[in-house]
Amino acid sequence: KNEVEQSPQNLTAQEGEFITINCSYSVGISALHWLQQHPGGGIVSLFMLSSGKKKHGRLIATINIQEKHSSLHITASHPRDSAVYICAVIIGSRLTFGEGTQLTVNP
């Protein structure tokens, strides 16, 4: 079993829909990242959080440390949101990654 599990693996939505991607982890962590990866490989950090909730534009990330669970929400989704979204946790000195969620938003 991976230390970091994401769901769903693939998600297709219509433009404008509200999207939720979930991340569960099995060990104690100091913080969690949500990352976005576009075709071509570049990874962009969306959020780093260790408690509560953060919001940036149409993106919202929440974390429940007791339940070892985090969610990434996208409101009013747009085709340009299509990408792979990766959850990564800081364990000790390094990041451990989930396998990613491939999001496709259709116009």
Partner 1 sequence: DTGVSQDPRHKITKRGQNVTFRCDPISEHNRLYWYRQTLGQGPEFLTYFQNEAQLEKSRLLSDRFSAERPKGSFSTLEIQRTEQGDSAMYLCASSETAATEAFFGQGTRLTVV
Structure-token pair, residue 42 = 């570049």
Interface residue with partner 1 among 61, 98, 103, 105 (CB under 8 A) is 98
Q: Rule CB under 8 A: is residue 62 a binding residue for partner 1?
A: no
Cβ proximity to partner 1: between 62 and 97 the closer is 97
SS3 content of the chain, % helix, strand, coil (to 5): 5, 60, 35
Interface residue with partner 1 among 11, 86, 89, 103 (CB under 8 A) is 86
- How many secondary structure helices (H) and strands (E) does the chain include? 0, 11
Cα–Cα distance, 54 to 34 (Å, whole number): 11
Q: How many residues bind partner 1 (CB under 8 A)?
A: 24
Q: Rule CB under 8 A: is residue 99 a binding residue for partner 1?
A: yes
